[in-house]
Amino acid sequence: MIKFFKMQGIGNDYIFFDCMKHKAYNSLNFSQLAKKLSERRFSVGSDGVVVLRKSKYFDVTMQIYNSDGSSAKMCGNAIRCVALYMYKTKKIENLIIEVSDRVVETEIVNSNKNCANVRAKLGKISFVKKIDVPFYDKNIELNVATLNNLHCVVFVKDFDFDINKGGQFISSLPEFEDGVNVEFVKIIDKTNIEVKVYERGSGRTLACGSGACASAYLACYYDYVNKNTDIQVKLEGGKLLVNIDKNDNVEMTGEAKFIYYGELELL
C-alpha cells in the first residue's frame, strides 16, 4: 500500500507523496501516477501530483506533475500546501522550498488544526512578450510573463465567453510549443482583480497561484493596479493577496488546507 495525502489551496487540489518519509517511493513513475490518480470520479481526483524529496541545501524540494502527466515548474498553491505540511509534521514555521531552479521562502502567518494562511516569496517575475492574435471576430492581446511556468494573461471587460474554449485555443497556438497557462483577467479597481484560469496540462482549474501572481504583475506593468501594495486576486476557488515590489519580486499570501490522508494499492 502506498500512502499519500491530499491538500488544496483555494480549490487547487493536489495528491502529495512524501519520498523523504517513504524512500521506496522514489522508484515510482509519478508521471503515470498523475494521469491515473488525477481523473475525477474514476480515481482520487486532483489537478495533479506533488512529490516531496530531500533537498541538498534547503528544507525540501518539490516536483509537480499536471493531471495529464506532464511536469510543471511552479505551483504557488501547492507551495503553500507544502509549507503547511512541513509545519504540521516538522514544526518548521519558515520553510525554504526548492522548486525547479527557484528557491521559495515561506512563512506560516496563522494556523489551526487543518489549515493555515501561508506567505510565500516566489521571486522575480519577468515580462516576455506581447502577441496579437485573431480570436473569433476580433483580435486579442496576449501578454506573456514567466514565473518558472509560462503564463499568458488576457485582460477582459467581462467573462461572457467560453473560458475552456478560449484557454484551449490560446494554449495550443504555435507560439507556445509546450502550451501555456492562460489567465483571463478583469480589473475591478486599483487593488482588486478577478481571474479565471486554464492551466496547461490540467485544463480549467479553480485557481492558479503563480497565474494569480503573473496576472497581478502584468496589471501593475500596465498601471491598472497599484504596485507595492496588496492586490486582492479573486479566483473561482477563493482569494489571494499578491504584492509586487519595485524590483518585480512577488509575494503571495493565501490559504492552504488538508483534505485527507489515504492509502492506495497499485493495480
Mean pLDDT of 195-223: 96
AA letter at 5: F
Mean pLDDT of 87-100: 96
Nearest alpha carbon to residue 118 among 237, 240, 17: 240
Integer distance in angstroms from the first to the last C-alpha of the chain?
Answer: 10
pLDDT recorded at residue 240? 98
Answer yes or no: is pLDDT of 135 > 80. no
> Of the spans 132-136, 172-176, 185-189, which averages the highest pLDDT?
185-189
Answer yes or no: is pLDDT of 182 > 90. yes
Q: How far apart are CA 235 and CA 121, in angstroms?
A: 20
Quick one: pLDDT band at residue 134, thresholds 50, 70, 90? Answer: confident
CA separation (Å) from 73 to 50, 133, 226? 11, 26, 28
- Given the residues 19, 81, 208, 213, select the one marked as catalytic: 208
CA separation (Å) from 52 to 2, 46, 81? 14, 17, 11
pLDDT recorded at residue 96? 98
Q: Is 208 a catalytic residue?
A: yes
Answer yes or no: is pLDDT of 26 > 90. yes
Q: How far apart are CA 163 and CA 63, in angstroms?
A: 28
The grid coordinates of residue 180 equal 501555456
AA letter at 247: N
Per DSSP (E only), the strands in the chain are: 2-9, 12-18, 48-53, 60-66, 71-72, 96-99, 102-111, 115-124, 126-135, 138-147, 149-155, 181-189, 192-199, 203-205, 231-235, 238-244, 249-264
Q: How far is CA 159 from the centre of its chain?
A: 21
Average pLDDT over all residues of the chain: 96
Q: What's the whole-model pTM score?
A: 0.95
Mean pLDDT of 93-109: 97
Mean pLDDT of 19-24: 96
For residue 230, what is the DSSP state? P
Angle, helix 209-221 to helix 76-90, in steps of 10 degrees: 130
Answer yes or no: is pLDDT of 188 > 90. yes
